[in-house]
A and B are shown apart, each in its own frame.
Chain A
Amino acid sequence: MNQLPLISTSDAINPLFLFIYGACLVLLLGITITMIYFVVRYHRSRAPEPTSQVDGNLMLEIIWIVLPSILVLAMFWYGWKEYLVLRTVPPNALSVTATAQMWSWNFSYSDGKTSNKLYVPVGRAVRVELVSKDVIHGFFLPAFRVKRDIVPGMSNYVWFVANKPGSYDVFCSQYCGTQHSAMITTVEALPEDQFATWLARKEAPGAAGKIDGKALAEEKGCLGCHSLDGTPGVGPSFKGIMGRSEVVVTKGTERTMTVDEAYLRRSITEPGADVVKGFQPIMPEFGDLKKEELDALVEFVTSVK
């Protein structure tokens, strides 16, 4: 049995846009043309004196209260109906958890696979659970007219279906600080079989080999704040950090220390413990990293010279 393709969220909402824009255009043209006609027709050069002193008309008032009321109530109803489409996830949707933090995305699948891009199969509904590790973010997928705030401590979700393969932009839509505009990623819609292959591919550690520390640093969003070339960002640059002497603030008091491996580890798992002077104590904690991941990250950071 061939299943009909799911109605995508954008297919549901685009006609509503057309309806409201159409109505707005008619109203705006009506207002503008009437105004311009009156201004030209009754300009003082043509009409040196007013030809009427009429100051109201009950019937007109009733007409232009009732007709717009009907129109806006239609917009309200239609808008609400399609909003419910956004809120109603079709059955058998693939569930993915999106974890947002300043300023990176991480998507995890039910089998434990994680990615910094949202890979999805074409034609299947995807339900994205929205989790924030710090402040409020927003999951915005313009191609599918989908958006939802990611509020810490609150379980929000969105759903969408990509009926064509392709790459679609995902933006953080709720202002979240310095690198807010850099908090972008993509939805990668792959044909079902390619998606299955991607999902099955294990990049996780094990006998197969070591974790790529640089790739992990990108995935976790480290490089959004810590540059590799010495430019100070939101956090100190990684360049030449090992062995550097830094003034840090520990529980409100300043002290000078030399960056060693222990410091790097603590700075990842408990970033608020010793903050380099001149930087804000805003780095999220990465206490849930596996030991191998932490090793790989420290090794990578040490290697940036």
Chain B
Amino acid sequence: MSDMQQAATSFWNDTGKTGLTSWIFSTDHKRIGLLYFYTTIGFFLVGVVLGLLLRIELMAPGRTIMGPQTYNALFTVHGVVMIFLFIIPGIPGAFGNMVMPIQIGARDVSFPRLNLLSWWLYIIGAVIILTSLFSGGGAPDTGWTFYVPFSSRTGTNVSLAVFGVFIVGFSSILTGVNFVTTIHRLRAEGMTWFRLPLFTWSLYATAWVQILATPILAITLVLVMAERVLGTGLFDPTRGGDPVMYQHLFWIYSHPAVYIMILPAMGIVSDIIPVFSRKPIFGYKMIAFSSLAIAAAGSLVWGHHMFTSGMSDTAVVVFSFLTFIVAIPSAIKVFNWISTLYKGSISLEAPMLFALSFILLFSIGGLSGLILGAAATDVHVHDTHFVVGHFHYVMFGGTGFAIFAAMHYWLPKFYGRRYREKPAIIAWGLMFTGFNVLYFTMQVLGMRGMPRRYYDYLPEFGPLNLVATVGSWILAAGLILMLVNLFRGLFWGEPFVGNPWGGATLEWSVATPPPTENFEGEPVATHGPYDFSGVKK
């Protein structure tokens, strides 16, 4: 009976409309969140397939399955799809939309129609990017960094791809504006800033980076298009331009973008660990403020991508220093997460396993970042597979695993059904193993001197490349198992009712699945987000 009532009022079926249009023109933050979730996961799978193809090509020296031009296009598309169409919109667009308004006790975001426009801009940009692969001079072969002068000379379809990224950028800016406004204006009574869940805090810090940094990417991309179409020569040394200026402009956005990707992931982990330890988060304010510190300091470190570019040694010393400064707030978070476990009551269910492995993988990624931050050691590993391994530890081991944690933690709440625990644990084990075999090996390869973006390599790098490729298969096997188990569970699994994990944030106090208006009446926040004393399971 109660199940029936819940079903009748849930956001899944009370709009009065049915079919596709009730989704793609919905202004409900939960529906938009799910639209984002399915589209970003779709692009993630596209990126995964491209990545697996790249690894198969690198399995042995020489040609394995494709020629060099195809390889160059594939790693470019892999990067563009994963970064612009999966990781950047992934957490804010999907889980931010689904969860954040409920966490702060709001009925929706401040600008629901703008929210829908964000998703549409994302889709339009994505379609343009996809079109660029199959039209004109073919898929771009510049790498996702679009470095000039190569990107202004190549005959491939760079202009259209760059235009697509430009459009996707506006989607990101609008989401940022929406979230900042929502978190400032729509908090429920009693929801003070220090009662905000840390996931919401991290989205707040992220939103500011989205608003402030993304326009610079937009400007830079317009300049690349002007360079190609109008021949402005701004980056062309033969006409008095400067290619290194492009690199500055590009990284002024693209380094802060790394924090757009990782900050909300840290927020997810900060929300999950206390719940599965039944203990308040350790150092709440430190974690909240360190998000802001990372967002601020992280905006000033872009030059560490350019230590070998020929920029001045003065710039190198400044950017190296700032890079080490930004390591500190990240370390603070790790220590606080670990301390949260102390004297708790820890349950190793799937969301917790993914969250804990986030800490380990992010730590490896962060620590290898110290090698990259120190000017002298960076010179050796810059532009090698060490960097590829490093950023996959941070982006995939970090953000990716946090997204998997969020999928296992929050999706059952929105579907009212759950996955099976045991296959989820096996999938986690496979992914964790395969991940390390793949990316740790890459770091060793880079240390031994194998440059990145190499279609072919010297025979001495052969054995380790084979190991990495085998790792990619283990990882893929785990991923398939995880997704099959998760979606099977969400659609046909056991009912998920109430608050089985004992979360204390507001999203666990509403019906499962949540009703369209989220709350019956006006919610009042009476306790902090990690105060488990009054939680009924």
Do A and B form a real pair?
yes
Q: Is the CB of A177 within 8 A of B310?
A: no
Q: Is the CB of A65 within 8 A of B332?
A: yes
Q: Report the bound CA distance from A75 to B325 in whole Å.
A: 11
Q: Which residues of A contact B284 (CB under 8 A)?
A: 55-56
| CB contact list, A155-211 vs B, under 8 A | 156, 169, 171-182, 184
A143: shortest Cβ distance to chain B, in Å? 8
Interface centre among B147, B153, B238, B375 (most CB of A within 10 A): B375
Q: Is the CB of A135 within 8 A of B356?
A: no
B495 on the A face (CB < 8 A) = no
A20 on the B face (CB < 8 A) = yes
Number of interface residues of A (CB under 8 A): 85
Q: Is the CB of A31 within 8 A of B279?
A: no
| Cβ-neighbour of B383 out of A55, A78, A173 (below 8 A) | A173
Q: Is the CB of A151 within 8 A of B153?
A: no
Q: Report the bound CA distance from A136 to B250 in whole Å.
A: 15
A6 on the B face (CB < 8 A) = no
A53 on the B face (CB < 8 A) = yes
Q: Which residues of A contact B155 (CB under 8 A)?
A: 280-282
Q: Is the CB of A47 within 8 A of B346?
A: yes
B370 on the A face (CB < 8 A) = yes
- With CB as the reference atom, state the residue of chain B lying closest to A35: B338
Q: Report the bound CA distance from A73 to B153 in whole Å.
A: 42
Q: Which residues of B contact A42 (CB under 8 A)?
A: 277, 341-346
Q: Is the CB of A154 within 8 A of B379?
A: no
Q: Is the CB of B380 within 8 A of A153?
A: no
Interface centre among B341, B449, B451 (most CB of A within 10 A): B451
Q: Report the bound CA distance from A83 to B311 in whole Å.
A: 14
Q: Is the CB of B380 within 8 A of A35?
A: no
A interface footprint on B359-400 (CB within 8 Å = 1, 0 otherwise)? 110011001101101111111101110000000000000000
Q: Is the CB of A64 within 8 A of B344?
A: no
A233: shortest Cβ distance to chain B, in Å? 9
B229 on the A face (CB < 8 A) = no
| Cβ-neighbour of B154 out of A12, A23, A86, A280 (below 8 A) | A280
A5 on the B face (CB < 8 A) = no
| CB contact list, B308-339 vs A, under 8 A | 308-310, 313, 316-317, 320-321, 324-325, 327-328, 331-332, 334-336, 338-339
- Kindly count the residue-residue contacts between A and B in the assembled complex, taking CB atoms under 8 Å apart: 268
| Cβ-neighbour of A75 out of B69, B335, B373, B530 (below 8 A) | B373
Q: Which residues of A contact B149 (CB under 8 A)?
A: 134-136, 152
B448 on the A face (CB < 8 A) = yes
What interface size band does chain B fall in?
35 or more
Q: Report the bound CA distance from A73 to B376 in whole Å.
A: 14
Q: Is the CB of A38 within 8 A of B338?
A: yes
Q: Is the CB of B455 within 8 A of A65?
A: no
Q: Which residues of A contact B324 (CB under 8 A)?
A: 72-73, 75-76
Q: Is the CB of A142 within 8 A of B449?
A: yes
Q: Is the CB of B456 within 8 A of A172?
A: no
B interface footprint on A78-100 (CB within 8 Å = 1, 0 otherwise)? 11111111110000000000000
B115 on the A face (CB < 8 A) = no
| CB contact list, A115-143 vs B, under 8 A | 134-136, 138, 140, 142-143
| CB contact list, B139-195 vs A, under 8 A | 141-143, 147, 149-150, 153-155
Extra contacts, 18 of them, besides A42-B341, A55-B281, A146-B380 (Cβ < 8 A), are A21-B371, A27-B363, A27-B367, A34-B338, A38-B341, A39-B356, A42-B277, A55-B530, A80-B316, A86-B379, A147-B382, A147-B383, A148-B310, A149-B310, A175-B143, A175-B453, A178-B69, A180-B455
